A and B are shown apart, each in its own frame.
Chain A
Amino acid sequence: MRDILKIGDKEFSNRLLCGTGKFRDKNDIKKMLAQSGSQIITIALRRVNLDNPQDNILNYIPKNITLLPNTSGARNAEEAVRIANIAREFGCGNFVKIEIIHESKYLMPDNEETIKATKILAKDGFVVLPYINPDLVTCKKLEDAGASTVMPLGAPIGSNRGLETQSLIELIIENSNLPVIVDAGIGMPSHAAHAMEMGADGVLVNTAIATAEDPMMAGHAFSLAVQAGRMAHLAKLAKKSKYAQASSPLTGFLHQERQS
């Protein structure tokens, strides 16, 4: 079965999105991508150093990988729009992850400013992937604003705490017309699998992979978890039940009698 994630005009067969931050060695990024098969990688434009080839992150990302520059560091819509435009001028393509944060304690995204930036950038031809606090109303507004996905957080960035916002993400998955990519907080492959089982269209994982002792193996593990979760979702596994559901019911004979 062909199971493709479509974002903008691009199609992806792998639903694990990765990040470039926090690695011990930039050379590990390429190896991790090879191990995980991830096809999209987010980069903080503020870290892109074109003047210094030694430090230019773009040199470490294979050409077949879709770049997802993010607007990390932007504190409002205006700054995010400027960063997105700089990224496009640098040749990073037209995908952009809107990340607008103006509090540095918990790094919570500002949904209101994100909607504003999405409107402007989508109109300007960007494929916009907004990172948000999981709020259904915001997701609907982002649809209207021209977003290409929504990216609700599972838990605060870098916290590895998993799907603390599960019930809110479930509402979004149930009602969104856009692909839902769970971003931030995913710390273990089981969290990623869980998000995919719930029906998420993808997950973005950075800290848990980059800070693992073996980032390459971690990338592979997350990729397998995403695949397993996706397959479980597509297989439409039987739902949980409060009561026992025996495979050979004790009262089955009653139905047999009626049939005969």
Chain B
Amino acid sequence: MSFLAQLKAYEEFDFKDYFDHVTDTMIFESIEKKTLDWYDFLNLLSPRAKQHLEALARRAHEVTVQHFGYTISLYLPIYVSNYCSSHCLYCGFSKQNRIKRNKLSLEEVEIEAQEIAKTGIKHILFLTGESKKITPLSYLIDVAKILRRHFAQVAIEVAPMDEKEYHQLFEAGVDALTVYQEVYDKTIYQQVHISGEKTNYQYRLDAPERGAKAGFRNINIGPLFGLGEILPEAFFGGLHAKYLSDKYLECEVGLSLPRINEAEGGFQPLSLLDDTTFVQIMCAYRLFLPRADINISTRETAEFRDNLLKICATKFSAGSKTEVGGYTKAKTEPQFEISDARDTTHVIERIQSMGYEPVYKNWEGI
């Protein structure tokens, strides 16, 4: 049974009605509970819980320190291609966009990898646009093998694949998978994914599960905020993570909260996730899934990220470049505009000055 079955159970769920009946007592009880069920999770996501954000943040901080200490794991992304065969309204890589396209040769991947390795960060996430034709499995395997020589953990964010293909990447040294559903609301999903392989809702939805079956140690998921209605999307993202972590005990499931940033194509978000609600969702994720990594990318501003670290973020990219070849000789425009433009050294110095320990390496693939 896939997560789709769980999602279907909520098709008729009236979020507004539920939220209207949430009381302060319910919220405080949910904040204090050791193990939260999905009602508790909803209580924490409710608009009323915003009035108790400080209490929620304090509890989220306590739980984070207990499980992660005063540490923050670092990683860097490497964009190896921006070719894409899908047309998605919100994405800078959409095939409709007239942007400069490029794909790194294996020699160029090697050079980029050497440059990134100089930062000392040992975890890397490699990304492509979603084109199985231009960046086939064989290419991804070759890239993985190169990166594995320079980094302790290699993660991928590429077009969803079959379990067998994921397994081949796992065998090539990939440890971790990031795949965002983008939007859980099926109607909106169909409205924003116009053509190409990405139009297949269920194939994408089940991708993290196929990755878990294939052996990846870490799976990172999340909705792209700005497409569906904010609170239900946050809820489904959390529920999806819980489903995976309950079913695949060997797998560490993490969550990201990407918000749509300015990108080629001029897409205007269908919904806006404000900073306060962002913090509320992040804290609700922490209490619902105490051990989950919460990953905050450079889509967010430096100041905002620093503040999130003090609450319950556990994973940062630092000094990211979102252009293909961005660390040596940028060959394209960025996928999205980075809001935290500090270089790696500055991010690390800031983390330390805030009394946190930057973790350059948290796993060694064996």
> A residues engaging B (CB < 8 A)?
21-26, 45-49, 51-52, 54-55, 73, 75, 79, 82-83, 86, 102-105, 158-160, 207, 210-211
Contact = CB atoms under 8 A, between A and B. Distances in A.
B120 A46 contact: no
B246 to A, nearest CB: 7
A75 B363 CA distance: 13
18 contacts: A21-B71, A22-B69, A25-B355, A47-B359, A47-B361, A48-B361, A49-B152, A51-B120, A52-B120, A55-B120, A55-B358, A82-B366, A86-B364, A86-B366, A104-B253, A105-B291, A207-B69, A211-B69
Interface of B: 65-71, 120, 122, 152, 245-246, 249-253, 291, 352, 355-364, 366
Given A22-B68, A22-B70, A49-B360, A105 B122 contact: no
Q: Chain B at the A interface: mostly helix, strand, loop or mixed?
A: loop
Which 8 residue pairs spanning A and B have beta carbons closest together? A22-B69, A103-B249, A24-B70, A52-B120, A55-B360, A49-B361, A102-B250, A104-B252
B66 A47 contact: no
Contacts of B253: 104
B250 A104 contact: yes
Given A52-B122, A55-B360, A104 B245 contact: yes
B296 to A, nearest CB: 19
Given A22-B70, A24-B356, A159-B66, 20 more contacts: A21-B71, A22-B65, A23-B70, A46-B362, A46-B363, A47-B361, A51-B120, A51-B122, A52-B120, A54-B360, A55-B360, A75-B250, A83-B366, A103-B249, A103-B250, A104-B245, A104-B291, A105-B245, A158-B66, A160-B66
Nearest to A52: B120
Given A23-B357, A25-B355, A86-B366, A54 B291 contact: no
Given A25-B355, A54-B120, A104-B252, A210 B69 contact: yes
Contacts of A45: 364
B238 to A, nearest CB: 15
A86 B152 CA distance: 14
Given A104-B245, A104-B291, A23 B69 contact: yes
B364 A104 contact: no
Contacts of A51: 120, 122
Nearest to B74: A55
Given A75-B250, A103-B250, A104-B250, A207 B357 contact: no
Contacts of B360: 49, 52, 54-55
Nearest to A49: B361
A79 B70 contact: no
A24 B250 CA distance: 28
Contacts of A86: 364, 366
Nearest to A50: B361
Given A23-B70, A105-B291, A73 B363 contact: yes
Nearest to B67: A158
B273 to A, nearest CB: 28
A46 B359 CA distance: 11
Most B-side CB within 10 Å, residue of A49, A82, A83: A49
A211 B70 contact: yes
Contact of A25 (B65, B122, B252, B357): B357
A14 to B, nearest CB: 23
A55 B69 contact: no
Contacts of A46: 152, 361-364
Given A54-B120, A103-B250, A104-B250, A211 B363 contact: no
